[in-house]
Amino acid sequence: MLHDLGYSNVRHYRGGIADWVESGEPTESVTATASEPDPAAATPAGPPLAASPSGEIGRGPARLSRMRQLDNSVLDLVQRRSTLQLFLIWIGTILLSGSCYWLGALIGDHGLVEGGRPVGADLKGFASAVYFSFVTATSIGYGDIVPVGGARVIAIAEAVTALLVFGAVVAKFVSHRQEELVSEIHRVTFDERLDRVETNLHLVISEILSIASMCEAKAPLNRISTRLESAALLFLGELRTTRDLLYQPRLMVEEGVLAAILATLASALSVLSDLLASLPPEFSRSQPFMITLDRLTALAQEICGECVPHTYTPRLVFWMDRIQATARQIK
Amino acid sequence: MASEVNTAANSSAIPEISREELRRRLHDSSLAIVDVLPQESYASAHIPGALNLPLEMVAARARELLPDFAAEIAVYCGKFT
């Protein structure tokens, strides 16, 4: 199996764990206190499946996975914050660092120096510290005020942090617009698709009705058969779309639109059922048509108020149940 | 080392690794030992240093646990198969 995935150097220890234990070799076990692998854990790139703490072998992949986990959690953190929150974090970083520079001035030689003189630990000094903090965070670095001693460490840490946070703010801002655009495009194409479903279902109805009149007019059976096959295929396609719509709704569909589609679907099913019942006895159903019909009824029977994973309004449930009931009658 | 790789005489195309070699290289980081048994079994007893990759999860998790395709891997399961 690993071979199939592309691993080239796999060997099999045929004895397995049973042979290992029998020969008296030591084994390891995972106690309840250890972080046990949980497939249902919330983290998508979950922890490695309990690599042993002492074994050299397990360490490489485990560390890699842990790093990825950290990476993911950082990305998650950024993902969850709004643009405004991130911006406030940025401002907070600057103010915090500003306070640190100011406190550094209190300690002594670890604050800021402006024009050769240390910045005082007074209110004016605080303003200077915040000003320097902004200049550092935006990576402008005028150089009119410079950090000395411990303040240098803070200045570097601040510059790095603030740059990263600001980058996140900008990225968030840009991606937000993009997401809006993408969802707008999705919505437009989706609306078009919905329109087409309804139109096609109406087409199916009128086609079935005209086939029914052909039957009454005693038209040649092979012509009826061909038209019925193509109508059933079209019907199947639209039915599948409707079923997917109910089972995996990607976007919210307006109740009215959905009700119209379901009602059309129900009446299409009932005219189809009527037609099939009224077909002349000498009409033989072709193999492809039988298959299409089977799939059609199977799909339609999956539509009912209780089978779909979401709860819909009574009106929609009524139509869904109607569809299922009609599909059951089709023979 | 290649001498110890004896291809299974019968059907299996996967070369084998002996218990002796496995024990000798238990602390050799160039050989990854993979336990393809279910998690419960792995939790109760596994070869020291083995990674757990239950069979049904191989396709999903292999890339994550074993990033190197060329790496030496020894797999084992429960019984004498």
Tell me, letter by letter, the H, E, C secondary structure of chain A: CCCCCCCCCEEEECCHHHHHHHCCCCCECCCCCCCCCCCCCCCCCCCCCCCCCCCHHHHHHHHHHHHHHHHHHHHHHHHHCCHHHHHHHHHHHHHHHHHHHHHHHHHCCCCEEECCEECCCCHHHHHHHHHHHHHHHCCCCCCCEEECCHHHHHHHHHHHHHHHHHHHHHHHHHHHHHHHHHHHHHHHHHHHHHHHHHHHHHHHHHHHHHHHHHHHCCCCHHHHHHHHHHHHHHHHHHHHHHHHHHHCCCCCCCHHHHHHHHHHHHHHHHHHHHHHHHCCCCCCCCHHHHHHHHHHHHHHHCCCCCCCCCCCCHHHHHHHHHHHHHHHHCC
Choice among A128-132, A293-297, B19-23, B68-72 with the minimum mean pLDDT? B68-72
Is B17 within 8 Å of A13 when comparing Cβ atoms?
yes
Contact (Cβ atoms closer than 8 angstroms) between residue A280 and residue A215: yes
How many domains is chain A built from? Answer: 2
User: What pLDDT shows up at residue B7?
Assistant: 36
| Cα(B55)–Cα(B37) distance, integer angstroms | 7
Q: Which of B7, B64, B68, B81 is the best substitution to test chain A (most A C-beta atoms within 10 A)?
A: B64
- Is A241 in the same domain as A322? yes
Choice among A51-65, A240-254, B47-61 with the minimum mean pLDDT? A51-65
Looking at beta carbons, which residues of chain B come within 8 Å of A56? Answer: 27-29, 49
Mean of pLDDT values over A158-176: 89
| Ramachandran quadrant class, A34 (left: phi over 0; alpha: psi -120 to 50; beta: rest) | beta
Give B10's pLDDT tier (boundaries 50, 70, 90): very low
Shortest CA distance from B6: residue in chain A: A11
| In a domain? residue A38 | no
Shortest CA distance from A36: residue in chain B: B43
Mean of pLDDT values over B66-73: 80
Choice among A92-96, A125-129, A304-308 with the minimum mean pLDDT? A304-308
| In a domain? residue A53 | no
User: Of the residues A149, A169, A187, which one is the last residue of a structural domain?
Assistant: A149
User: Of the residues A149, A165, A188, which one is the last residue of a structural domain?
Assistant: A149
| Cα(A277)–Cα(A331) distance, integer angstroms | 8
- Is A97 in the same domain as A237? no
- Is A145 in the same domain as A185? no
**Does pLDDT of A216 surpass 90?**
no
| In a domain? residue A115 | yes
| In a domain? residue A43 | no
| In a domain? residue A245 | yes
CA separation, residue A263 to residues A75, A78, A303, A326 (Å): 46, 45, 12, 12
Contact (Cβ atoms closer than 8 angstroms) between residue A48 and residue B53: no
Give A61's pLDDT tier (boundaries 50, 70, 90): low
Contact (Cβ atoms closer than 8 angstroms) between residue A323 and residue A303: yes
Is B51 within 8 Å of A29 when comparing Cβ atoms?
no
Is B49 within 8 Å of A14 when comparing Cβ atoms?
no
Is B23 within 8 Å of A52 when comparing Cβ atoms?
no
| Cα(A157)–Cα(A134) distance, integer angstroms | 13
| In a domain? residue A8 | no
**Does pLDDT of A297 surpass 60?**
yes
- Is A287 in the same domain as A223? yes
Alpha-carbon gap: B38 to the closest alpha carbon of chain A (Å): 11
Choice among A56-60, A121-125, A242-246, A319-323 with the minimum mean pLDDT? A56-60
Strand-strand pairing, A117-118 and A10-13: unpaired
- Is A140 in the same domain as A277? no
Is A57 within 8 Å of B44 when comparing Cβ atoms?
no
Give burial (CB, 10 Å; 0-12/13-18/19+) of A317: middle
Give A316's pLDDT tier (boundaries 50, 70, 90): confident
Q: What's the ipTM?
A: 0.77
**Does pLDDT of A23 surpass 50?**
yes
CA separation, residue A310 to residues A249, A299, A325 (Å): 9, 17, 19
| Cα(A101)–Cα(A81) distance, integer angstroms | 28
- Is A108 in the same domain as A229? no
Residue A113 or A77, more confident: A113
- Is A142 in the same domain as A220? no
- Is A114 in the same domain as A185? no
Give A52's pLDDT tier (boundaries 50, 70, 90): very low
CATH code, A105: 1.10.287.70
Q: What mean pLDDT, rounded, does chain A reach? A: 82
User: What pLDDT shows up at residue A251?
Assistant: 66
User: What pLDDT shows up at residue A4?
Assistant: 66
| In a domain? residue A160 | no
User: What pLDDT shows up at residue B13?
Assistant: 66
- Is A129 in the same domain as A186? no
Looking at beta carbons, which residues of chain A come within 8 Å of B33? Answer: 55, 57
Residue B49 or A136, more confident: A136
**Which domain range does residue A234 map to?**
178-328
- Is A243 in the same domain as A318? yes
Is B8 within 8 Å of A16 when comparing Cβ atoms?
no
Is B45 within 8 Å of A55 when comparing Cβ atoms?
no
Q: Name the pTM for this structure.
A: 0.45
**Does pLDDT of A116 surpass 90?**
no
- Is A198 in the same domain as A315? yes
